[in-house]
Chains A and B, each alone.
Chain A
Amino acid sequence: METIREIQGYAYFGMTVVFVIALYGYIVYLYKGKKRGMDYEKYSNLALHDDLNDQILEARNDEEKDSSK
């Protein structure tokens, strides 16, 4: 029983450290996105321009066309 507890303790510690590194690495990656020409912020407009007749931000069909090429 103690060994299971112990493994659980080490696993818990290990996973926590991995999550911290992964998540903080992720935010650095996101903020560096601009240099790669990734503009994430435009997706905020999904909420603001949400009428049926509003311009579609990124249509799905384009993607399908692209991939079928």
Chain B
Amino acid sequence: MFHWLEKNPFFFTVVLFVVIAFAGLVEILPNFAESSRPIVGKKPYTMLELAGRNVYIKDNCMSCHSQLIRPFKSETDRYGSYSLSGEYAYDRPFLWSSKRTGPDLHRVGNYRSTDWHENHMKDPQAIVAGSIMPKYPWHFTNSADIATAFDEAVTVMKVFGVPYNKEGNPTVPATFSEAKAEMIAEAKEIAKDMKDPGVKAALENGDIKEIVALIAYLNSLK
């Protein structure tokens, strides 16, 4: 039976592949059937929030922060109601993380404000004594990559049918220059609650710093 296979590497490989692939199919596919349909009222990310999400990914915030509140009382007491599958419908990629060195952020938008984030990203230890989070001064000087965020929004809208431009949902205009104007307007709303003069001055010149986009994203996590 099996022993014969070691002398016939072709069949060995075929059998082995079937064994390996089979379990994966059985385990993965049925769960796909429950595909992540968005829960009612869930809106896609705005382009500025997507830009912020890419800052989150770039600096690998998910290596220390989860976005998955498990259905235990100790977690819902601490972070808010537990996470539902449909809440992640617009998350490409998902950012659940596998490690919680810092607190969960799935509903951080409910209990932290723009100015809290601004001060905290500059110097976490000044806000939370004993924090081991790094300081992020470059978020105040690097520009957010809004062009890529625009591309990304267009892509998910065209390829995956994410409902942008529908009633009440965020918009994605046809050209980048229109998109940029929208993002700057949104960024200015956020910057109203911020103090950093460099960030504000840059915004007047049409340059959105990473911190503004990141805060837009963090505020959207509710």
Q: How many residues of A contact B (CB 8 A)?
A: 15
Determine how close the nearest CB of chain B comes to the CB of A7; give it in whole angstroms. Answer: 8
Q: Enumerate the 4 nearest inter-chain pairs by beta-carbon distance, A residue then B residue, closest first.
A: A8-B30, A4-B30, A4-B33, A1-B34
A15 at the interface (CB under 8 A from B): yes
| A1-B33, A1-B34, A4-B33 as given contacts; A11 in contact with B1, CB under 8 Å | no
- Tell me which of A5, A12, A15, A26 contacts B1 (CB under 8 A): A26
Per DSSP, chain B at the interface is helix
Contact string, B1-37, partner A, CB cutoff 8 A, digits 1/0? 1110011000000000000000000100010011000
In the complex, 20 of the A-B residue pairs with CB atoms within 8 angstroms, ordered by the A residue number, are A1-B33, A1-B34, A4-B30, A4-B33, A4-B34, A5-B30, A7-B30, A8-B26, A8-B30, A11-B26, A12-B26, A15-B26, A26-B1, A26-B2, A29-B1, A30-B3, A38-B3, A40-B3, A43-B6, A63-B7
Residue of A nearest to B3 (CB): A40
Complex alpha-carbon distance, A4 and B27, angstroms: 12
How far is A4 from B26 in the complex, measured between Cα atoms in Å?
11
Which residues of chain B come closer than 8 Å to A8, judged between CB atoms? 26, 30
Q: Please report the C-alpha to C-alpha distance between residue A11 and residue B23 in the assembled complex, in whole angstroms.
A: 11
Distance in Å: Cβ of A56 to nearest Cβ of chain B: 14
The smallest beta-carbon distance between A64 and chain B, in angstroms, is 12
CA–CA, A38 and B1, complex, Å: 13
Q: B2, B7, B30, B34: which has the most chain A beta carbons within 10 Å?
A: B30
| B1 / chain A contacts, CB cutoff of 8 Å | 26, 29
Q: How far is the CB of B37 from chain A (nearest CB, A)?
A: 11
- The residue of chain A having its C-beta at the shortest distance from the C-beta of B34 within the complex is A1
A residues 13-49 in Cβ contact with B at 8 Å: 15, 26, 29-30, 38, 40, 43
Instruction: Please give me the residue from chain B that is nearest to A29 by CB atom.
Output: B1
Taking the closest CB of chain B, its distance from the CB of A44, in whole angstroms, is: 13
